[in-house]
Each structure stands twice: as C-alpha cells, then as structure tokens.
C-alpha cells in the first residue's frame, strides 16, 4: 500500500467497475495569486508550499448546496507562520499525510497561506492547549511515543485550517477540537487528518457551536492492525447556524476498531449535515466499524440531514451504522416531571445531559465552562 | 464431478433457463437518435398529435440535459448504437392462440399463460417494443377495471392518460426520463375504479429478443379511491454480446384510501443497462407498497419512490438486490413525506457474491408540513465471499421536529459456524449457503404469490451455485 497517495474522500471503484463521483460545482470569486505567497524562511518547506500553490491555482472554490456556501470573500494574506520548524523527517511525514478533505482547494489554501500553526514532535506524555489560531492554520503533529493530550479552541470569525496527526505504534492521542462561533457571520472550515499505526489509540471529541457556516472534515487512515479509535462529535446549533461535518474512517488492515458516535441538539433554524463514511478495504479482516448520529430537535424549524455510509470490500467484518432524529423523549420528560421538576426545566436537563460527558472531560483543562456557556446561550 | 462434467452441468442449467426467440421483427428502426426516428415511432403507433408533440419536446430536453453525475459508470453505453424501436411481427391479441408460436413458446417457458390460468386476474405480455398480448378476466372488465397496453389507452382513454402520463416523472426529471419521453413504447395502463378490490394480482411480463435493442415501456397505474390492487412486473432477456438498454418508467397514483402493491422481479440478462424510474404518489390514507427483486442486468440504477402527499398515507418498500459476478447493482428507495402523520418503512437487503457490487442509495425526506410522521430505514448487506463489495449510502433529511426518524444498516457475511452446522446435517456448501440466503430474502419472498416464491427460490439456488461453482 502506497501511503504517499492522496486520501480521497470517496472511493467508488470495485474491480473493473466504477461509480460516478458527483461533479464539483464552483463559485467565481477573487482568489489569491502567486504574488500573495509569503516565504517562510525554510527552503525545504517553501519548495513544498510552492508545489502546493501550483496545484492550488488550478482549482476554483467549491459551491456547497447543503451548506449554503455560495460566495466567499478572502482576507488579506498575513505573514507566513505554521510549519517553519519542519525538517526532512517532518517533510517526509507531511508528504504521506495528503488528503482531499472538505475540498482539495481549502486543504491547499491552508498549506500555502497559513499564518498560524506548528510542527510538533511528541516523544513523551504531553499536554498542549492551543487557543491562538489565526485565519489560516496549518499544524502537523508526530506522536512518536507516549500520550498527547491536545486541546484546540478555534474562536475566530474566519478560519480555514489543517491539522495532520501521525499516531505511531503504541502511542495515544486525546484530541479535543472546540469550534466556537463568535458571530452569526462566521465561516469555519476545518480539516483534520489522522494516520495511525499498529496498536495505537485515538480518542477524539469535537464540539461545534455557533457561527454561520461550520464545515468539518475528519479523516482517519487506519492502515494499521489492532488500532483503536473512538470519535465523538457533538454539535449544538441555534439561530441559523449550519454545521456540516464529515467523518471518514478507512480501514486497510485487520483487527482494528473504529467508532464514530455523533450527538447533538438543534434549536431555532439551525441545521446539521452529518456525513459519515466507514470504508473497509479488502484485507481488513475482523475490523469493527460503527457509526451513529442522534439529533435532538427542540424547535419547529431545525433541520437534520444525515448521510451515514458504509462501504465494505471485506466480508469478515462487523460494520454498522445508525441514525435518528427526534424531538425530546416525552417519556424522559414525564419521568423528571413525576419527580417534581417543571416541564421546561426537565427538557433543559435532558438537553444538557447530551453534553455531560464532554463537559466532565474538559474539567481537567478548566474548559467545561466553554460548553456550559454555549448551552446557557441556547437554553437560557 | 470432473471439471468437464461441471461445465456441461453449468451449460445445461443455463440452457434450461435461457429464453431465446428467433423471430424476424415487423419493423426494426436503425440505431441512433434523431427527430425523424421519433416521427417514425409515432406514426407506427398511429398516435394523436399531442403525443407526437410530447415526444419531440422530450427529445429536445434530452439533447440539452447532462448525464446524471452519480450512479453506475455508463461509459460502455453508447446511446447512438441502441436500436430504439423493434416492432414484433405479431398483432395485439387477447388469446394466446393468436400469439406467434415461437413467442408463445418463450412465454410458456416463463410460465406466464399457466400462471394466468391459475392465479392471475389479468396478464400483459410485451415482446421487444410492443405489448403483444393483454387479457383481463371478464368480471373485472364489468366492474370497470381497465387493463390494456398504453398505446390503446392513449387512443381510447385519452383524457385519463393525458392527465397522468409523465406527470409524476416529467421529461425534465433527468436525461433518461427525457429519453424515455421521446422513445417510450409498450407498457401497461391500469385503472381500478373507486372501491373495487381486485382479488388476484395482475401481471405484465417483458421479454426482450433483439441484440443492441432498447426497451422503453411506460406504465401508468391509477388506483382510485378506496380500491385495492396488486400488480406484478417481470422481465427477462437472453444474453447478447452487445449492450442492451432498458429505460422503463412507472407512474402510480394511489388515490384516497386506496391500497396498491407493486411487485417487480427483474432478471434481465447480464448485458443489460437497466435504468428505470419508478414513482408513486399517495393521497390521504392511501397505502403504497413496493416489493422489488433485482437479480439480473449488467448495471442497474433503480430507486422506487413514493411521495406521501396525503395525510396518514403509508409507504412500504421491501427490496432484495443480488449482485453476482461482474454486476453493479445500484438500487435504493426514495420516500418524501409531505402529509401529516405519514408513515414509511424501508427494508432493503442486498447480496453480493462472486465479485459483484451492490450499492444501496436512498433518500428519506420529511418535509416541514409532515408533522407527526414516522419513518424507519433498514439496510442489510450480505457478502457471501471476499471478492465482492457492499455499500450503503442513505440520505436522510428531516425538516420538522415533530417526527421520529430512525435508520440502521449492517453489512456482514455468512458465519462459518452457520455453514458448518448445516453441512454437518448433510447439506453441501452451496446448499447451505443457498438456505441461509433464502432465509435472508424471506421478507421479499413472503410478499410474493406462492408460485413466484418458488421461482425466486429456484433463481437464488441457480445464482448461488453458478457464483460459488
């Protein structure tokens, strides 16, 4: 298996048969040019960035119907910051972590024009909290040994970022991505790509709240045996927020486990688009892949769109997905009311309960207030 | 058994099942698509002007439309090489005695005349581009049930046809709907009057006998208020070395309180591109049931759809698709909830074997107006071996908060313990697998009339045996 290829989002081929990949629709908008390129001072990195720029210029920006992305206004390019510390090992790693993401154009944009980010090598148990990302962020993490607790808070009115993580043999990652909109004009496009090795463990919690358009791609290449991945996306949407999130897990080798369990609450006219792809290639025997999305709707105009996909080329697997959307469970409300809790409070308790695990885990970083604040602003 | 014996056995099995009809057609238009050809089809059918206009307008839309940018790859499908219209050398009749002997023998082999005698209320038989036989029991005729070929209906029930023909599936729907609008030929028109409950199923069978040909039959069914009817559609064709094309279209109108069950057993030959469009609209308290078995074809794209327009209307969709060696079967279901308190269930099952690719593609849409609706979608994929592929891609869109929607999917294999258990009871491996597969498809089988259920089980045995070897 050649890992230097681009990890495509959709794999619609089987033997000599082919499925048709939907055409990419584009928008015409003013784009960056070659002159906007800002050198980093690292020749190794800049050669790579220039190759990326060359590809970047071949694409227009995508138009996304479900998300409502119909136009785009780009900010001025800031001085380069991101992977200046990249060495030859880092470059080799970067080359193996290439992916399509939400859209290839946005991945390349953050690679070329980032103004924040870092190249991080982890050799021992480490905790990192990042809360100063810029408009375009590019971060590369290589967890060679030990356990990394990585917390990233994105609270920008405009954010397009790439986060690539390699989790090496026996290493462990605990990742918390907290995407917090600041106003109702915000645009957030996040690409996270994780490549894991044998016997690694990956635990992820994503939390999406606020903003206007939130688009998240989370891709995971499980080209490994006995790897374990548990991904928990949470979303809380109010007003006219659109949260469009894609979770891809691709299994290449036997005996790995992957689970994506999304939960969320929507009110007002908020909309969530949940796309899940569990892709199990031939040879990934005894892989176990589960995926689910459960949305609780507490207003008349909230919307849920779910596309939970399973793609399976190997028959010796356990693969399942489930999706549901429903109003708050009346039985649960009734139970709480029978304990003397007023109906409105009972409903709020149930909604808060959806995020309880996330809040508990964030306590160790003193960040539980982030979720509490979001819930307060929605539930009052 | 030696290899040679196995080969002979395999060839014999195919010979038993294969239907070949070598009759010269009365008219065979040249391959290609152009306006002149459309005029010729229309003239051959002696159509009213409005239908000729409809064809020409559809052709204009076809020329402007782009190919759908999803589904199976259609690179091998060259529309300019498809023969769009083949009129068999047989007049339309209501008695099998008048059907040319060779065509009759083919339908005999399929068991159609016998089935008609035993348990059907009416039968239609289409060969190539035209219905050559259509008959319905006298009692039903007296109750006002209309069961005829669509060409006759265009002439004799013009207003009724005009009101419903390509209104649910307009030519603007997609490129192939437009192609169908331009080239349609043959098919069924069924009208069941208010309150009439048809006690036995009606059936149309489509047989294809020309290499490189296209079949574009059109079916319109109107189940009027409070009526009940079951309709069975079957299709088969011998295998040719060139691509054949089937773009049938089905429109079903289920009026207030009516119940309609539409069963399809598709067993096209493995050189067929099967690109069908099936759509139903259900009014208040109506029930629409699709039962589909997809066994044949080289590549298939078909997604029976129900629009639940009326309050309390119900849609059921039960399907089994079978993707064997070299087959790419892209099937699914679409349900759109518009009315209040509407309900839908989808039970989609697929079997992949011998390298086949089965792909479930579904859409479930709950509109803002569909308050109090309930919907559940279940997809199950069974992969018999490790060469095959099974995918499921359901799209679920929920636009109101007062509805319950659930979806689940599972893909897996037959467990070794299951095979071992059955083999320890004296079954061969292929028998054991066949038995498990038959259990898996039971929800479809139990919806079929008894004789069809037997036929379906036989088909499964053949497919399993020929795929496992």
pLDDT tens string, chain B, 469 residues long: the values are 345 455 445 544 544 456 666 777 888 888 889 999 999 999 999 999 999 999 999 999 999 999 999 999 999 999 999 998 888 888 888 888 888 888 888 788 777 788 777 778 888 888 888 888 888 888 999 999 999 999 999 999 999 999 999 999 999 999 999 999 999 999 999 999 999 999 999 998 888 777 888 999 999 999 999 999 999 998 877 777 788 999 999 999 999 999 999 999 888 888 899 999 999 999 999 999 999 989 889 999 999 999 999 999 999 999 999 999 999 999 999 999 999 999 999 999 999 999 999 999 999 999 999 999 999 999 999 998 889 999 999 999 999 888 889 888 888 888 888 888 999 999 988 888 888 888 888 887 887 776 667 767 777 777 676 665 5
Both A311 and A335 in one domain: the answer is no
A7 in a structural domain = no
Query: Hey, of A26, A323, A347, which one would you mutate to test binding to chain B, going by the most B CBs within 10 A of its CB?
Result: A323
Of B74, B400, B409, the CB nearest to A320: B409
Instruction: Report the residue of chain A nearest B370, measured CA to CA.
Output: A300
The total of structural domains in chain A comes to 2
Both A349 and A321 in one domain: the answer is no
Both A84 and A220 in one domain: the answer is yes
Both A319 and A355 in one domain: the answer is no
- Asked if B70 and A20 come within 8 Å (Cβ–Cβ), the reply is yes
Both B198 and B58 in one domain: the answer is yes
B269 in a structural domain = yes
Residue after which a domain boundary falls, among B269, B302, B335: B302
Low-confidence residues of chain A: pLDDT under 50: 1-3
B402 in a structural domain = no
Of A300, A312, A326, the CB nearest to B383: A312
Both A58 and A104 in one domain: the answer is yes
Both B32 and B174 in one domain: the answer is yes
Residue after which a domain boundary falls, among B256, B272, B302: B302
Both A160 and A98 in one domain: the answer is yes
Query: Hey, of A11, A14, A289, which one would you mutate to test binding to chain B, going by the most B CBs within 10 A of its CB?
Result: A14
User: Are the C-beta atoms of B177 and B277 separated by less than 8 Å?
Assistant: yes
Question: What pLDDT sits at residue B468?
Answer: 59
A6 in a structural domain = no
Domain coverage including residue A360: 329-379
Both A214 and A115 in one domain: the answer is yes
The dihedrals phi and psi of B164, each to the nearest 5 degrees, come to -120, -20
Instruction: Report the residue of chain A nearest B408, measured CA to CA.
Output: A322
**Any B CB within 8 A of A286 CB:** no
A157 in a structural domain = yes
Instruction: Report the residue of chain A nearest B412, measured CA to CA.
Output: A315
- Asked if A14 and B399 come within 8 Å (Cβ–Cβ), the reply is no
**Any B CB within 8 A of A331 CB:** no
> Is residue B415 classed exposed, middle or buried when 0-12, 13-18 and 19+ CB atoms within 10 A define those classes?
exposed
Give the CA dihedral A355, A358, A362, A367, nearest 10 degrees. Answer: -30
A187 in a structural domain = yes
Tell me how close the Cα of A77 comes to any Cα of chain B, in angstroms. 36
Both A240 and A371 in one domain: the answer is no
Both B295 and B420 in one domain: the answer is no
Three-class secondary structure assignment of chain B: CCHHHHHHHHHHHHHHHCCCCCCCCCEECCCCCCHHHHHHHHHHCCCCHHHHHHHHHHHHHHHHCCCCCCCECCCCCCHHHCECCEECCCCCECCHHHCCHHHHHHHHHCCHHHHHHHHCCEEEEEECCEEEEEEECHHHHHCCCEEEEHHHHHHHCHHHHHHHCCCCCCCCCCHHHHHHHHHCCCCEEEEECCCCECCCCEEEEEECCCCCEEECCEEEEEECCCCEEEEEEEEECCCCCCCEEECCEEEEEECCCCEEEEEEEEECCCCEEEECEEEEEECCCCEEEEEEEECCCCEEEECCEEEECCCCCEEEEEEEEEECCCCEEEECCEEEECCCCCEEEEEEEEEECCCCEEEEEEEEEECCCCCCCEEEEEEEEEECCCCCEEEEEEEEEECCCCCEEEEEEEEEECCHHHHHHHHHCCCCHHHHHHHHHHHHCHHHHCCCCHHHHHHHHHHHHHHHHHHHC
B176 in a structural domain = yes
Of B394, B397, B407, the CB nearest to A324: B407
**Any A CB within 8 A of B416 CB:** no
Residues of B in contact with A303 (CB under 8 A): 397-399
Both A346 and A233 in one domain: the answer is no
Domain coverage including residue B66: 19-302
Question: What pLDDT sits at residue B319?
Answer: 94
B409 in a structural domain = no
Residue after which a domain boundary falls, among A327, A345, A363: A327
Of B394, B398, B412, the CB nearest to A303: B398
**Any B CB within 8 A of A1 CB:** no
Of B73, B383, B403, the CB nearest to A315: B383
Query: Hey, of B73, B387, B401, which one would you mutate to test binding to chain A, going by the most A CBs within 10 A of its CB?
Result: B401
The total of structural domains in chain B comes to 2
Positive or negative torsion for Cα B433, B438, B439, B443 = positive
B371 in a structural domain = no
**Any B CB within 8 A of A22 CB:** yes
* Residue B320 structure tokens: 């089994």
Residue after which a domain boundary falls, among B273, B302, B331: B302
Both A156 and A117 in one domain: the answer is yes
Distance of alpha carbon A267 from alpha carbon B271, whole angstroms = 51
Instruction: Report the residue of chain A nearest B357, measured CA to CA.
Output: A14
B1 in a structural domain = no
Question: What pLDDT sits at residue B132?
Answer: 84
DSSP annotation of A214 reads E
Question: What pLDDT sits at residue A246?
Answer: 98
B76 in a structural domain = yes
* C-beta atoms surrounding B420 within 10 Å: 12
Residues of A in contact with B359 (CB under 8 A): 19
Residues of B in contact with A300 (CB under 8 A): 368, 400-402
Chain A, 173-202: which have a CB under 8 Å from a chain B CB?
none
Both A58 and A155 in one domain: the answer is yes
Both A177 and A323 in one domain: the answer is yes
Question: What pLDDT sits at residue A143?
Answer: 98
């Amino acid at each position: 298996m050649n890992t230097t290829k681009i990890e495509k989002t959709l794999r619609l081929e089987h033997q000599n048969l082919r499925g048709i990949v939907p055409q990419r629709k584009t928008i015409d908008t003013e784009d960056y040019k070659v002159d906007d390129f800002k050198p980093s001072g690292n020749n190794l990195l800049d050669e790579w960035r220039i190759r990326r720029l060359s590809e970047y210029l071949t694409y227009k920006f995508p138009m996304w119907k479900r998300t409502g992305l119909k136009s785009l206004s780009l900010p001025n390019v800031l001085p380069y910051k991101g992977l200046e510390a990249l060495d030859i090992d880092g470059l080799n790693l970067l080359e193996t972590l290439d992916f399509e993401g939400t859209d290839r154009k946005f991945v390349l944009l953050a690679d070329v024009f980032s103004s924040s980010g870092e190249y991080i090598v982890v050799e021992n148990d480490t905790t990192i909290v990042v809360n100063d990302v810029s408009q375009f962020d590019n971060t590369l993490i290589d967890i060679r040994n030990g356990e990394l607790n990585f917390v990233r808070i994105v609270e920008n009115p405009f954010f397009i970022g790439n986060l690539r993580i390699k989790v090496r043999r026996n290493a462990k990652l605990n990742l918390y991505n907290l995407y917090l909109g600041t106003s109702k004009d915000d645009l957030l496009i996040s690409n996270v790509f994780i490549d894991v090795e044998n016997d690694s463990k990956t635990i992820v919690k994503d939390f999406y709240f606020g903003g206007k358009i939130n688009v998240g791609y989370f891709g995971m290449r499980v080209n490994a045996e006995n790897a374990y991945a548990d991904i928990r996306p949470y979303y809380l949407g109010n007003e006219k927020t659109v949260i469009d999130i894609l979770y891809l897990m691709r299994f290449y080798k036997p005996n790995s486990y992957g689970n994506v369990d999304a939960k969320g609450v929507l009110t007002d006219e908020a909309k969530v688009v949940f796309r899940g792809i569990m892709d199990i290639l031939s040879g990934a025997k005894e892989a176990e892949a589960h995926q689910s999305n459960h949305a609780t709707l507490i207003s008349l105009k909230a919307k849920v769109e779910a596309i939970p996909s399973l793609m399976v080329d190997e028959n010796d697997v356990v693969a399942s997905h489930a999706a549901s959307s429903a109003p708050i469970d009346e039985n649960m409300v009734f139970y709480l009311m029978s304990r003397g809790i007023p109906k409105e409070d009972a409903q709020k308790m149930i909604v808060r309960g959806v995020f309880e695990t996330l809040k508990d885990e964030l306590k160790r970083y003193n960040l539980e207030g982030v979720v509490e604040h979001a819930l307060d602003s929605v539930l009052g | 058994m030696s290899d040679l014996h196995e080969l002979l056995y395999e060839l014999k099995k195919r010979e038993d099942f294969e239907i070949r009809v070598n009759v010269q057609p009365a008219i065979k238009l040249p391959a290609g698509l152009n306006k002149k050809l459309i005029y010729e089809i229309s003239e051959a059918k002696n159509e009213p002007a409005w239908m000729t206009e409809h064809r020409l307008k559809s052709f204009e839309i076809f020329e402007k439309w782009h190919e759908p940018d999803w589904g199976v790859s259609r690179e091998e499908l060259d529309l300019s090489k498809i023969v769009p219209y083949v009129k068999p050398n047989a007049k339309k009749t209501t008695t099998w005695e008048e059907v040319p002997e060779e065509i009759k023998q083919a339908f005999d082999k399929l068991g159609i005349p016998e089935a008609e005698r035993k348990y059907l209320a009416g039968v239609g038989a289409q060969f190539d581009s035209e219905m050559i036989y259509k008959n319905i029991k006298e009692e039903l005729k007296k109750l006002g049930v209309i069961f005829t070929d669509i060409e006759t209906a265009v002439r004799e029930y013009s207003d009724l046809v005009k009101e419903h023909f390509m209104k649910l599936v307009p030519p603007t729907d997609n490129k192939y709907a437009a192609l169908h609008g331009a080239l349609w030929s043959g098919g069924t028109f069924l009208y069941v009057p208010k309150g009439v409950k048809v006690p036995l199923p009606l059936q149309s069978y489509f047989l294809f006998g020309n290499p490189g040909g296209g079949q574009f039959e059109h079916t319109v069914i109107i189940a009027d208020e409070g009526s009940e009817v079951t309709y069975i559609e079957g299709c088969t064709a011998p295998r040719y070395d060139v691509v054949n094309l089937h773009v049938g279209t089905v429109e079903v109108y289920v009026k207030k309180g009516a119940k309609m069950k539409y069963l399809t057993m598709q067993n096209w030959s493995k050189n067929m591109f099967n690109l069908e469009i099936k759509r139903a609209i259900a009014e208040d308290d109506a029930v629409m049931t699709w039962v589909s078995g997809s066994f044949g074809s080289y590549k298939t794209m078909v997604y029976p759809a129900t629009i639940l327009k009326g309050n309390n209307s119900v849609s059921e969709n039960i399907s089994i698709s079978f993707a064997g060696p070299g087959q790419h079967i892209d099937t699914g279901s679409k349900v759109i909830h518009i009315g209040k308190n509407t309900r839908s269930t989808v039970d989609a099952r697929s079997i992949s074997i011998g390298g086949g690719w089965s792909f479930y593609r579904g859409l479930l849409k709950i509109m803002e107006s569909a308050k109090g609706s309930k919907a559940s979608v279940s997809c199950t994929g069974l992969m018999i071996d490790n060469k095959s592929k099974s995918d499921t891609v359901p799209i679920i869109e929920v636009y109101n908060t007062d509805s319950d929607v659930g979806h689940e999917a599972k893909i897996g294999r037959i467990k070794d313990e299951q095979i071992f258990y059955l083999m320890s009871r004296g079954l061969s491996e292929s028998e054991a697998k066949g038995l498990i597969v038959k259990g898996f498809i039971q929800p479809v089988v139990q919806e079929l009339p008894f004789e069809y259920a037997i036929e379906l089980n036989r088909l499964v045995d053949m497919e399993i045996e020929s795929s496992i070897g």
